[in-house]
Structure 1
Amino acid sequence: MTLERQRVPFLDVDATPVTVSELTALLTAYVAEGRTRTVVGHNLHSVTLLHSDPGFRSFYDHSDVVLIDGAPVLWLWAKTGEEDDGRGPVMDYRLGSTDWIPALGNVVGLQRIAVIGAGAVANAGAVAKLREIVPGARVDGMPGEDWNHDVEDAAVQWLAGLRPQLVLLGLGMPLQEQVLARRLPMLPPAVYCAVGGAIEQIAGVQKLAPRWIGRLGLEWAWRLMLHPQRVAYRVFGEPWVLLGLLLRRRLGRPAQGQ
C-alpha cells in the first residue's frame, strides 16, 4: 500500500490522510514486515510544536504515518481539493487514536501489544479492553505516571523482553515523541504509535465526547467543559502562538530556538 503525504495549506505541514480501514490494512502490512515504524497524528498542538521545536519537526518528518487528528487540520487539508478523488467523506479522514484503536481486531497477524502510559488503573483498564478488541492477542501494560530517566530505562528493557508487534505510547505530547526520538534505535522492531490521552479514554477513565460532537469538530468544547484547567491554554492561548509562528515563517524570520 503506497502512502503519499499531502500538504495542509496555511499550517505548512504534511499529513497522511487515511481512513480507519486503510490504516488497519497498513498496520497489517507493517506487522507482517516486522520493521520499526512510527505512527503519529497532527492537531493544532503538534503543529505548534513542529514550528517551534526542530527536534519535534525532525521526528514528524521521519515518521511513517502522520494521521489527521484535529478538526482544524482536517478542514484546512480539505481546502486543497485533494480529497475529491472519490474516496469518501472528508470526516472519514479524521483519525484520533480512539477512532482507530477499537479497529485493531482487523489487523491480521497482530498477536503482541504493549501499552505504555497513564496511571496504573487506567493502564490496566486499557489492557483489559484491548484484550477484548484483539481476542487471542497478548496485551501487556506499563503505567507511565511520574515518568523519568529510570522509568524510561525500565521501559526500554521491558519492551526488549516482550518484543511486541505494536506499541501504544500515551505519555502526552511532546513527551511521547521525545521518548521515541531518543530511544527508537535501541527499541525492538515494532509499530510505535503515539496516542496521547487515548489510554485513559479506552479504559473509560476519561469520558469521550459523543461522536456527533466529534464529527462537528467541537471536542475542544467538551474537553474544556470537563477539564478547564488542563485545556484552557490549548483552546484560547496556543492558537495565537501558532499564528505568530506562521506569520514569522511567512516573513522569513526564524522561530525562537531555530
Structure 2
Amino acid sequence: MINKIEMFGITIHKFSMKETVDVLQEWLQFGGNDCKYVVTPNVDHVVQLEKNSAFKQAYAHAAMVVADGKPVVLASKLLGKPLPETVPGSDLVPNIFTRFQQNNLPLRIYLLGAMPGVGEVAAANIKSQWPVVEVVGILSPDFGFEKDSDYCERICQSVANAKADLLVIGLGAPKQEIWVDKYAHKLPVKVALCVGATIDFLAGNKPRAPMWMRKFGLEWLHRMCSEPKRLVKRYLVDAIIFPKLFFREWMAPRK
C-alpha cells in the first residue's frame, strides 16, 4: 500500500490520527535517539515553502509529514490523491499523551518554546491530566536565539541532559522546522514534533477554537480573531497565493 503522496512539491504521509500515533508510539518505545522529527503542513506552510529553501530542505529531511489544515486535505481530494484527515499538531500531542496514559507507559518530554512561564503551566496541566507523562525540561528561548550558535548548542545540551524521549517544539513556522533540521544530529531524542502554538494550548494560554469550528475547518478564523495584528495579514496573503498554487498543481501532468 502506498502511504505517501506528492503535492505542492513536498511528500505527505497518508496517515490518519490513529495511524500517526501508532507510528510515533513505536518510535518512542523502540526507536533510537536519532531525532526523527515531524512536520505538519498547513496552507501557510505551503505558501512559505515556495520561497524559503531552508524550510523546504527541513521538510525534505523530516521523518514524517502529516497534514494540518483542511484546505490541504481538500486539495488532495480534488487532485485525486486523498489524504484521510487532518492531523493537527495541537491535537496530535494530546493524543500521544492519551495513548501512553491508556497503556500506562512512561514518557519523558521536553517543552521548547512559548513565552516565559507558559511551559511551567503546561507542565502542571500535563501532570494533572496525563500522570505517566513526565516533563523533564522546559525552555523558553530568547528572541532571535536561532542566530546564536553557542546558545543553540546550549539548548541541545540541555535537551541531552534531560534524557527526554520526546521534544515538543513550539517556536512557530518556519523557525522550528529550520532549527530542528539544523540541530537534529545534536538532539538525542527519539522524536521531535514541530507543533507551533501547542505548548500555549496545553497551558490554556491560548484558547482552542470550539469543536464545531474545528470540525468545519474554521480554526484559522478563530485564531485570526484571537490574534488579529499577527495573523490577519498572513491569512490574507495565504488566501491569495494558495489558490494559485493549487491551480498550478491542478494543471501539472498527473503522475
5+ residue gaps in structure 1?
85-89, 253-258
Q: Which moved more, 1:100-109 or 1:166-175?
A: 100-109
Letter in 1 for 2:5: Q
How big is the shift at 1:80?
4.3
Counterpart of 2:23?
A: 26
3-state secondary structure, aligned to 1:180: helix
Letter in 2 for 1:20: M
Quote the Cα distance in structure 1 between the aligned partners of 2:208 and 2:14: 23
Counterpart of 1:69?
A: 68
Structure 2 counterpart of 1:14, from 11, 14, 29: 11
- 1:191 equivalent in alignment to 2:191: yes
Letter in 2 for 1:62: H
- 1:115 equivalent in alignment to 2:111: yes
Quote the Cα distance in structure 2 between the aligned partners of 1:53 and 1:135: 40
Give the paired residue count.
242
Counterpart of 2:126?
A: 130
Counterpart of 2:94?
A: 102
Letter in 2 for 1:94: T
How big is the shift at 1:12?
4.1
Counterpart of 2:141?
A: 144
CA RMSD for the aligned pairs? 2.6
Q: How does 1:246-257 map onto structure 2 within 5 Å?
A: none
Q: How does 1:21-100 map onto structure 2 within 5 Å?
A: 21-31=18-28, 32-34=30-32, 35-83=34-82, 90=84, 93-100=85-92
The sequence identity of aligned pairs, in percent, is 24
TM-score by length of 2: 0.84
Q: Which moved more, 1:133-142 or 1:182-191?
A: 133-142
Shift of the 250–71 alpha-carbon distance from structure 1 to 2, 3 Å rule, reads closer
Quote the Cα distance in structure 2 between the aligned partners of 1:216 and 1:145: 36
* Preserved CA contact (<8 Å) 1:52 1:245: no
Shift of the 155–3 alpha-carbon distance from structure 1 to 2, 3 Å rule, reads farther
3-state secondary structure, aligned to 1:138: strand
5+ residue gaps in structure 2?
none
- 1:218 equivalent in alignment to 2:223: no
3-state secondary structure, aligned to 1:38: strand
- 1:206 equivalent in alignment to 2:198: no
Deviation sequence 1:60-84 (CA, Å, 0-9, x none): 1121111110111011112245449
* Preserved CA contact (<8 Å) 1:116 1:141: yes
Letter in 2 for 1:43: N
